[in-house]
Amino acid sequence: MHHHPSRRSVITAAAAGSVAVAGAAPAVAAGSGSALSSADRRRIRAIIQRMSLEEKVGQLFVMRIYGASATDPDPADVAANQAEIGVANAAELLATYHVGGIIYFAWAHNTQNPHQIADLSNGIQRAALSHGTPVPLLISTDQEQGAVARIGAPGTLFGGGMALGADGSTSDARTAARVIGTELAAMGVNQNYSPVSDVNINPANPVIGVRSFGADPTAVAALAAAQVKGYQSAGIASTAKHFPGHGDTGTDSHFSLPVITHSLEQWQTIDAPPFRAAIAAGIDSIMTAHLLVPALDDSGDPATLSYPILTGVLREQLGYDGVVVTDALDMAGVREKYGDDRVPVLALKAGVDQLLNPPLLPVAYQGVMDAVASGELTEERIEVSLERILALKFRKGLFRNPFVTHAGVDRVVGTRSHLATADRITERGITLLADDGGTLPLPRRSHRNLLVVGADPAAPSGTGGPPTGVLAKALTDLGHPATALSTGTAPSQAVIAQAVAAAAGKDAVVVCTYNVTSASPSQIALVTALAATSVPVVTVAIRNPYDIAYLPQVSASLATYGWTDVSMRAVARVIAGKARPAGRLPVAVPRADDPATPLYPIGYGLDY
């Protein structure tokens, strides 16, 4: 049993190498469509000349729409569309507002299964080509993997950003993105809001956490660049987010306006490298963050609305000329200071191209139209963004053929080889943090009878079930019969007593913990009560890896950085000795009593 401090330096060297290589292709460094021929440029100008102002403004918006079908959604979805947007369905949205993009969400019932998604995409593209000036759509979603995945099984799912950070391989990161991108493209989704390029140096971050690759800017930069190349090699647009960096905040921009207190120098060394690397890799789009960065702009405006940040830093200093998309405009962080009619105007004045998911599209759209009428925004300014958006659509081949087929879905989505790749890559991120007395792997002869207890966070759409159940089944399949008992994220005394009773006579208990802090006394009490029995206890942190700092000493502790089926099956293989724990911490785990001191440093991880 030993840990590998050397592994991190290998990653860092690889990181530096990959960034250098990425920068060697300045032809596409700006993500600016330099790959377009002059003939395509002329075609874009001709399209713009044919468009009305209404169409030009519409192209800048990316909108949600309820329903599984573009023309015939369920009555409840029609009602939701009427209430929020004033249209019945996607086809009507396109006829009315000529939006340039649609974003898919599971909660909007857009992503029920791969064939339905393909049909929805085709219906949306057909509608876009049948009204006014025919322009195909950018269809986007947040398919980050792990904690955020809008499309579930039978599509292929990976462990997420931090799981890839614990694996540490740029090759694996690129392969994962290529698999995800290929499947999205087959379903007609041509823009993924991924990779998360935030450097998560704040363990208390409530919104990024395991969505980030980790806390080492060099490693995050290398993995982000690798994923950009993977997605874009699959033919879809990749989006680095959330510029200028959402990694060091203790608040969530969905609900308030976070402040990043980094100095300019800290921003340059911590937050900027992944975005620089993504730009060098030819990134198609970059998403803004709704947060304040006084070192870059002390006006009190969020980055999404900041000319100094989006034009001064991103466009001028970093040399980026690709598409800039806002984070969702329905988030509180961008709405605190200005009305919903002003936010899109200020975003455009700051240097944004795509306006994502305004809460009230009629208000936002009219706000932009009014700003053009008053001269606050010129039609030329609208056309600058429009040209970037159309250039991206040309580069992705959407003007050649935006349609997909069921045969194409069947050929690539959730194939046996893709699923095997996801299992293999996710397994490499499983990290062993403690193993007192060589408890793991559990010997099959002596550990025939296991209990799995713990938290079951709501799993993303279409996965097989609660993590404790998936883990118990996987262990059973590997020759360690296991019973599952879900105790939730805040077990009562009665539930804890039930778990202790269920542990009696078992050969070991596996406890899934979820984001334990000093504010999780009941999860701590559960582990403490089980540790007081004579049964060996193995804890598995199924979201943030910091849990071990708050828990009593147990026989062994693992971190998975995610709770979806692919991560639960992977940790089962490690517990059963079918795979070795190859993961290394991509973030430091601080001590609970002294957060400035690491309990485990970046790069730590045991093996057996």
Provide the annotated active-site residues. 254, 327
Residue 146 zone, left/alpha/beta (φ > 0; ψ -120 to 50; rest):
left
CA 65 to chain centroid: 20
- Check: CB of residue 202 under 8 Å from CB of residue 247: yes
Query: For the chain, first and last CA: distance in Å?
Result: 5
Token pair, residue 131, equals: 């009204």
Phi then psi dihedrals of residue 137, to 5 deg:
-100, 150
Are 369 and 325 spatial neighbours (Cβ–Cβ below 8 Å)?
Answer: no
Cα 91 to Cα 129: distance, rounded to the nearest angstrom:
10
Give every CB contact of residue 101 below 8 A, 6+ residues apart in sequence: 61, 62, 63, 137, 138, 139, 140, 191, 354, 356
Handedness of CA 79, 84, 85, 86 (dihedral sign): positive
Greatest CA span in the chain, whole angstroms?
Answer: 79
Rounded Cα gap, residues 181 and 186, in angstroms: 9
CA atoms within 13 Å, Cβ hemisphere of 229: 22
Rounded Cα distance, 400 and 395, in Å? 10
Distance CA 76, CA 175 (A): 39
Count the neighbouring beta carbons within 10 Å of the beta carbon of residue 298. Answer: 10
Residue 305 DSSP one-character state: G
269 secondary structure, DSSP code = I
